[in-house]
Amino acid sequence: AQSVTQLGSHVSVSEGALVLLRCNYSSSVPPYLFWYVQYPNQGLQLLLKYTSAATLVKGINGFEAEFKKSETSFHLTKPSAHMSDAAEYFCAVIVTGTASKLTFGTGTRLQVTL
């Protein structure tokens, strides 16, 4: 069965610093991978997706992620953190050919400090 593992339940960065949120996946077939963001008391917003086209994927709000098959990773990065980036981030996987059931990681809470 496919799964994702997010390393680090909490990440704290200074405003203007690099943001790196880690996600590793496990899947026996090519997966589709997603990053979602959740602000307090809100639903999930899609940041970006990997669907087997370009391995470097650009999303909204300056975020990007790189699919690395050799490392089974799909880490999320942003060159310069902003206070408004403070939120919970979830990595998720869908196995291609299935009925599009999303399997989520446990989430990483990003804190941005002055």
Partner 1 sequence: DAGVTQSPTHLIKTRGQQVTLRCSPKSGHDTVSWYQQALGQGPQFIFQYYEEEERQRGNFPDRFSGHQFPNYSSELNVNALLLGDSALYLCASSLAGHYEQYFGPGTRLTVT
Which residues contribute to the site for partner 1 (CB under 8 A)? Answer: 32, 34, 36, 41-46, 49, 51, 90, 92, 94, 96, 98-107
Residue with Cβ nearer partner 1 (22 or 49): 49
> What are 39's two structure tokens?
């602000």
Residue (81 or 92) nearer to partner 1, CB: 92
Smallest gap from Cβ 99 to partner 1, in A, equals 4
The least distance separating partner 1 from the CB of residue 50, rounded to whole angstroms, comes to 10
Tell me how crowded residue 63 is: count the other CB atoms within 10 A of its CB. 20
The single-letter code of the amino acid at 109 is R
Cα-based distances in Å from 68 to 44, 50, 72, 109: 24, 11, 6, 23
